[in-house]
Structure 1
Amino acid sequence: MDKIKTSACIVAYGGYEEVVKAASSVLSYTKDTELSLYVVDNASPDGTGARLEAADFGGPVDVICRKTNDGFGTGHNTVLKQLTSKYHAVVNPDITLDTDAISALCFWMEEHPDVVMTTPRLRFPDGRDQYTAKRTPSLLALMARQLPLPFLKSVERHYLMLDEDLTRPQLIDFCTGSFFVIRTEVFQKMGGFDESYFMYVEDADITRKAQQYGKVMYVPITYVYHAWHRDANKKWKNFWMQIRSMFHYWRKWGFRLF
């Protein structure tokens, strides 16, 4: 019996060693489906693209070097038209696998044809869970994620769906862009990511687009590791970029206070 055709894409901007580690782990552990892996370099100024072209990933990787950095979503859209898979995984360079998470989600989606997009459990490298199942972004939720204020704790818990049983699959309104699997046909029909976002919140946006085709779900049957650098919490430039993206999202989909 032929294996299901899958694809995955990692977008790089610097961080050569981390990208190689991520790509190698995807190749090493994705065994139960037929995988095509792409690495797109977003015009890294430090020569990462040329190094990736010469890298040994332990398996076949199609490395594509862009001439300009037009953002996270644009980088992922680079491979959109050439995909021939049934399922496509969007993978951050700070993701690593030690199990066949991509195939597990594909098989689960085979059994749930009304689901078009899934994300698994995410863990920190030390094994602690990250809370990545989210409700629709709101102003108070954004504040709760950035400001350690006691009166916002309940808002954050609601936003992160900690009032739900996250040991079971759950419908979500915000699928993390760090790692998700989507039906390739849907990814192509929707035109991939909205390229008017440079970085941040494009994952919330693509979730809303995917919901027009079917269900988007958090599926904790498997997991991946996510280093989660959280630059928006450390650098003012990134924080303000996130704020601008959030307001762009609200202009497009409607503002929510809570």
Structure 2
Amino acid sequence: MSVKLSACIVAYNNYEDIKAAITSMEQFTSPELPKRIYIVDNGVAISSPSDVEEFKEFIEKCNDVEYIDAGSNLGFGKGHNTVLDRLDSEYHAIVNPDILFCEDAFSKIISWMNENKDVGMVIPDIRDEYGKRQLVYREELTVFDMFIRFFCKGLFPGRIKKHTLQNKDYSKPFQVPFGQGSFLVVRTDLFKELKGFDDNFFMYVEDADLCKRVNQVSKLMYFPGARVIHKWEKGSHGNKTLFKYHVQSMKYYFKKWGVKWS
């Protein structure tokens, strides 16, 4: 069935967050916007059977939500790519489990993209639970900026402000080199043309890679006219396994695109 909007959330033993995300999405999204939401579950093996069944029962009560058992932990990008062949929509949303809606963000974004045909992907105004804008808008990755982020975050405040585009006028749209992948709306045809995320990234930096590829053929734009809330649990900070994935992803990114030191 063709729909105007599709959306995908990749689950990993975080069912309560996803229930909240879906509930807020259904509450605020206009019923006049036909949509299909896919939940790709990467974490069945580490979740209790009762939790999985309870979550499936919740999904069954939602007319426009489809549950997919990935069979194993495919990672973030490959998990999202699971739905590529199923998409029959005009727009597709990449949504983190910890996103909450506070307004009809989808309708506002789609309306703006309909008027701006040169825009291939949009990142809206993303705030935390207290209303503070999150630093999810960035320059392209460099080795120096990633080193600062992980090892000397309290130093080089000017450089951090530059990398996270803090000097931009957020009352107006502007092109974004790298938008963090917690909430992105992309034209489905473009997403398919790019073959989604690069499967070689298991976790982290795949969003930077996707944004770079979008900007090569179209534009990723910040759109101030729509807002969502992102609770954002920064998993790789202090977790050795996740930090290892982050480093591996950065190595692959710089190998793919060339090392940019600063």
TM-score range, shorter chain: over 0.9
Alignment equivalent of 2:219, drawn from 201, 215, 218 = 215
Structure 1 132/149 Cα, relative in aligned 2: closer, same or farther at 3 Å? closer
| Paired position in structure 1 for 2:7 | 8
Alignment equivalent of 1:53, drawn from 53, 56, 68 = 56
Partner SS, residue 238 of structure 1: helix
| Number of residue pairs the alignment of both structures matches | 256
Alignment equivalent of 1:122, drawn from 119, 123, 126 = 126
Deviation per CA, 1:127-175, whole angstroms, max 9, x where unpaired? 1111211110111211232234554211111111112212211111112
Partner SS, residue 64 of structure 2: coil
Q: Is the 8 A contact 1:192 1:206 kept in 2?
A: yes
**Gapped regions of structure 2 (runs ≥ 5):** none
Q: 2:192 corresponds to which letter in structure 1?
A: Q
Output the CA distance in 1 between the equivalents of 2:246 and 2:153.
Answer: 20
Partner SS, residue 54 of structure 1: helix
Q: Is the 8 A contact 2:6 2:36 kept in 1?
A: yes
Output the CA distance in 1 between the equivalents of 2:96 and 2:203.
Answer: 13
Q: Is the 8 A contact 1:71 1:198 kept in 2?
A: yes
Deviation per CA, 1:194-239, whole angstroms, max 9, x where unpaired? 1111100000011112123211111121111111100111312212
Structure 1 86/200 Cα, relative in aligned 2: closer, same or farther at 3 Å? same
Alignment equivalent of 2:143, drawn from 135, 139, 144 = 139
Aligned residues with identical type, % of pairs: 35
Are positions 1:231 and 2:232 aligned together?
no
| Paired position in structure 2 for 1:41 | 41
Alignment equivalent of 1:80, drawn from 79, 84, 90 = 84
Partner SS, residue 115 of structure 1: coil
Q: Is the 8 A contact 2:128 2:230 kept in 1?
A: yes
Q: Is the 8 A contact 2:205 2:249 kept in 1?
A: yes
Partner SS, residue 33 of structure 1: coil
Query: What's the C-alpha RMSD, in Å, of the aligned pairs?
Result: 1.7
**Gapped regions of structure 1 (runs ≥ 5):** none
Deviation per CA, 1:163-189, whole angstroms, max 9, x where unpaired? 221221111111211000000000011
- TM-score by length of structure 1 reads 0.94
Partner SS, residue 256 of structure 1: coil
Alignment equivalent of 1:181, drawn from 182, 185, 205 = 185
Dislocated runs of 4+, deviation >6 Å: none
Partner SS, residue 11 of structure 1: strand
- TM-score by length of structure 2 reads 0.92
Are positions 1:206 and 2:210 aligned together?
yes
Partner SS, residue 216 of structure 2: coil
Output the CA distance in 2 between the equivalents of 1:149 and 1:176.
Answer: 18
Partner SS, residue 120 of structure 2: strand
Q: Is the 8 A contact 1:201 1:246 kept in 2?
A: yes
Output the CA distance in 2 between the equivalents of 1:232 and 1:137.
Answer: 17
Q: Is the 8 A contact 1:11 1:76 kept in 2?
A: yes
Offset at residue 52 of structure 1 (A): 2.4
Q: Which moved more, 1:36-45 or 1:195-204?
A: 36-45
Output the CA distance in 1 between the equivalents of 2:16 and 2:138.
Answer: 30
Are positions 1:66 and 2:65 aligned together?
no
Output the CA distance in 2 between the equivalents of 1:5 and 1:180.
Answer: 16
